[in-house]
Amino acid sequence: MTARTDTEQVELANTTFYEVMERSDFESLSGLWLDGDDDGVSCVHPGWPVLSGRGEVLRSYALIMANTEYIQFFLTDVEVSVSSDTALVTCTENILSGGPAEESGELGPLVGQLVVATNVFRRTSEGWKLWSHHGSPVLAETEEEPDDETPA
């Protein structure tokens, strides 16, 4: 089953994006972002201002990888919308991460974090590539969540 639908290809590209982060694989991550003279890529990490352009975006990931000893993403609510050569993905990133330990060399304390992301991909001759990533912390429950009666 090699022939995949656009939606399946985009979902795979989205999953790969998080897997390379988990592996701290900067080379592969760089290859997932659009590359070109006028790529127009942008990235917002949770709580950060906008980063624009491939150079600035990739430097931020190098910095984050250098300061993250361990990170794991459990993706939920993945929704894909494809229109011609552009695809929009929204998902919830249930993150478990730990920074480097200060002294002992052991893993620092693990921290759980709830982030929602909007990822925009563009179709290229080398597959679907990231045009934009915007992640933001979920700070409040809304009244749209009927499954959870208890306040966070």
14 lies in the binding site for its own copies (CB under 8 A): no
Q: Which span (14-22, 66-74, 75-83, 95-103) binds its own copies, by CB under 8 A?
A: 75-83
Least Cβ distance, residue 101 to its own copies (angstroms): 22
Gap between the Cα atoms of 107 and 70, Å rounded: 8
85 lies in the binding site for its own copies (CB under 8 A): yes
Pairing of strands 86-100, 127-137: unpaired
Gap between the Cα atoms of 14 and 92, Å rounded: 12
Least Cβ distance, residue 65 to its own copies (angstroms): 15
21 lies in the binding site for its own copies (CB under 8 A): no
Closest CA to 51 of 70, 37, 64: 64
Least Cβ distance, residue 12 to its own copies (angstroms): 18
Q: Which one, 28 or 60, has the nearer CB to its own copies?
A: 60
Q: Which of 27, 144, 147, 149 binds its own copies (CB under 8 A)?
A: 144
Gap between the Cα atoms of 23 and 70, Å rounded: 9
- Under a CB-based contact definition with an 8 Å cutoff, are residues 44 and 133 in contact? yes
DSSP string, 15-78: HHHHHHHHTT-HHHHHHHB--STT---EEE-TT---EESHHHHHHHHHHHHHT-SEEEEEEEEE
116 lies in the binding site for its own copies (CB under 8 A): yes
132 lies in the binding site for its own copies (CB under 8 A): yes
Residue ranges that bind its own copies, judged by CB under 8 A: 38, 40-42, 44, 46-52, 56, 60, 63, 77, 79, 81, 83-86, 88, 90-92, 116, 118, 120, 122, 131-132, 134-145
